[in-house]
Amino acid sequence: EGAERGKWSGRTRGNKIVVFPMDNPKDDRTGQLVTLRIEDAGPWSMQASLVRVIHDAPRSLRDLLQAKNQRFTIPLTPVARI
């Protein structure tokens, strides 16, 4: 689902929230399917550690995330007053 305060959060197949620490802040886990080891479980969420990445994010999602972070400039041309 996303990253916050040095941790990634996601959901299980049963829609339960799982939180696990970032192994490297530069790695974007958005859209990836991962295997986790559940370390602790509470009433609202589970704490886990990353075991491995099963499937990378779809290319279309990576492209969308990359485009979202780009800045675009629009050249302005002077308008002649009549």
List, for residues 31-63, the tens digit of each pLDDT value: 888 899 999 999 999 999 999 888 787 777 777
What local confidence, expressed as pLDDT, does residue 74 receive?
Answer: 67
Mean pLDDT score of the chain, rounded to an integer?
A: 82
What local confidence, expressed as pLDDT, does residue 72 receive?
Answer: 63
User: Given pLDDT bands bounded at 50, 70 and 90, which one contains residue 16?
Assistant: very high
- Supply 4's token pair: 């916050």
- Cβ contact 34:52 at 8 Å: yes
Q: Which helix (H) or strand (E) holds 66?
A: helix 59-68
How does DSSP classify residue 57? P
The percentage of the chain sitting over the pLDDT mark of 90, rounded to a whole number, equals 29
Q: Tokens 């559940």 — which residue?
A: 38
